Amino acid sequence: MSRRSDRITLQARDPNSPVTPIVPVTLRKRKTECSKKKLQPATKKQNYEIQKCWSEDGASPCILIETPHKELKPANPSNFKQYTFKNLFIKASPIPHLSWASSDDVWIKMLNKELKYVHDKSYLQRHPKLQPKMRAILLDWLLEVSEVYSLHRQTAYLAQDYFDRFMLTQENINKDYLQLIGITALFIASKIEEIYPPKTYEFAYVTDGACDLWDIQRTELHMLKALDWNLCPETPISWLKLYTQVEAQKNGVNFLEPQFSQDTYIQITQLLDLCMMDITALDYNYSVLAAAAFCHFSTFDVVHKVSGLTWDSVSQCYQWMTPFMETLRSEPKPQLKNFPKVRADDRHNIQTHVAYLDLLRIAQECQISESNSGQLSPVAGGPILTPPSSTEKPPNP
């Protein structure tokens, strides 16, 4: 039987000849291609640097700005490892030393979120049928629902952030859909923040038939896609809690354990609640809003120490917030409420509700009467926004 002429034959090896391993051509080519890929410059990445460093006498604001894209092209790739690159040069952040993380890293991540999560009151221009007062009515109702279900303040503020950022991505939303969007935002926020969030049918129940379970679930998917699943902003409440905790922090005490006064904390949160009802609050960063509210109950030296913000960056928001503070001074001080299944040391974190719409009207009237120039808070007339009955529900969007 004949054999193929191209078969591999065995030959006797010369013991004095060097051993040369046989490497397949395909494998050799693959290694060469991989080595070439490793020598290619790194892909473009988003880089940030701090525009202003910390001063020696205390904290100063850190503003993160985007730096131009740069590609590294080493002349000698073999010596590339000896170089190190740094684009952040800061001193200690206002956050004290943490045993579980770097305080500088935590601070930088919080500042970065101010750039990532954008809010802007101009979204009303994209919705000609909506008015600022409709947003205030919706947020007032969401705060009331939050108290009924003993939801945390962070949950309510997350819902407000989701609502405002979602509306920034949409156009020509009718007022009949505001309640559905608002309750869906609260539903998403409760699943992010709460350990035991209410069920979907419970959120549908509080709408009194205006929204059913399938409406909420369909709108939830729509909102998540519109928000690109960015669901973890630093809200005014999270900034305020950081400021108050840093100011009250004692040496040797766990930073995660609240050290501030609960009575003072709920007074500041009531001021923030009232201010967030006004759409003009979206003109300011959340960190600035929390610092301005804290400044009304403390001195600016303390605020500067815990936030690193200068007076120039806080003064405009502080002055805008003054009529709201004067309105609350005429009201009884808020008291800590007891909630079933809520520990006594956690009561200050539960969202409460008062007659915010009446207080908002008084505060906006004070702004108009006291302001001789500058931007005024928009006061819209028109009927009160009420949930439509189940028989008047509009067709699916």
The CATH number given to whatever domain includes residue 226 is 1.10.472.10
Q: Verify that 241 and 176 share a domain, yes or no.
A: no
Q: Verify that 243 and 354 share a domain, yes or no.
A: yes
Q: Report the pLDDT value the prediction gives residue 16, as an integer from 0 to 100.
A: 58
Which among 233, 268, 290 is the end of a domain? 233
Q: Verify that 269 and 344 share a domain, yes or no.
A: yes
Q: Report the pLDDT value the prediction gives residue 395, as an integer from 0 to 100.
A: 52
Decide if pLDDT at 117 tops 90: yes
Which among 233, 268, 295 is the end of a domain? 233
Residue 41 domain-assigned? no
pLDDT class of 106 with cuts at 50, 70, 90: confident
Residue 30 domain-assigned? no
The pTM for the full model equals 0.72
Residue 138 domain-assigned? yes
Q: Verify that 290 and 184 share a domain, yes or no.
A: no
Residue 52 domain-assigned? no
Q: Verify that 249 and 221 share a domain, yes or no.
A: no
pLDDT in tens, 149-188: 999 999 999 999 999 999 999 999 999 999 999 999 999 9
Cross-strand bridge partners of residue 58: 55
Q: Verify that 153 and 213 share a domain, yes or no.
A: yes
More confident residue, 140 or 369: 140
Judge contact between 273 and 157, C-beta under 8 A: no
Q: Verify that 264 and 172 share a domain, yes or no.
A: no
Decide if pLDDT at 209 tops 60: yes
Decide if pLDDT at 144 tops 90: yes
Residue 39 domain-assigned? no
Residue 81 domain-assigned? no
Which is nearest to 126 in space by CA: 181, 84, 165?
A: 165
Q: Verify that 217 and 263 share a domain, yes or no.
A: no
Q: Report the pLDDT value the prediction gives residue 225, as an integer from 0 to 100.
A: 96
The residue-averaged pLDDT of 279-285 equals 95
Question: How many other CB atoms are there within 10 angstroms of residue 180's CB atom?
Answer: 22
Q: Verify that 280 and 363 share a domain, yes or no.
A: yes
Judge contact between 300 and 243, C-beta under 8 A: no
Q: Which of 43-47, 267-271, 391-395 has the highest mean pLDDT?
A: 267-271
Q: Which are the contacts of 311, defined by CB distance < 8 A and separation ≥ 6? A: 300, 304
Residue 323 domain-assigned? yes
pLDDT in tens, 133-143: 999 999 999 99
Decide if pLDDT at 23 tops 70: no
Decide if pLDDT at 119 tops 80: yes
**Number of domains observed in the structure of the chain:** 2
Q: What are phi and psi of 64, to 5 degrees?
A: -85, 130
pLDDT in tens, 224-279: 999 999 999 999 999 999 999 988 887 767 677 777 888 999 999 999 999 999 99
More confident residue, 385 or 217: 217
Q: Report the pLDDT value the prediction gives residue 94, as an integer from 0 to 100.
A: 84
Which among 199, 233, 267 is the end of a domain? 233
Decide if pLDDT at 281 tops 50: yes
pLDDT class of 57 with cuts at 50, 70, 90: low
Mean pLDDT (the chain) is 79
Residue 376 domain-assigned? no
Judge contact between 160 and 139, C-beta under 8 A: yes
Poorest-pLDDT segment among 77-81, 145-149, 198-202, 341-345? 77-81
Q: Verify that 310 and 343 share a domain, yes or no.
A: yes
User: Which structural domain range is residue 132 located in?
Assistant: 119-233
Q: Report the pLDDT value the prediction gives residue 181, as an integer from 0 to 100.
A: 97
Q: Verify that 207 and 152 share a domain, yes or no.
A: yes
Judge contact between 327 and 317, C-beta under 8 A: no
SS3 state at 65: strand
Q: Verify that 241 and 365 share a domain, yes or no.
A: yes
Q: Report the pLDDT value the prediction gives residue 15, as an integer from 0 to 100.
A: 53
Judge contact between 152 and 351, C-beta under 8 A: yes
Strands (DSSP E) found in the chain? 48-50, 64-66
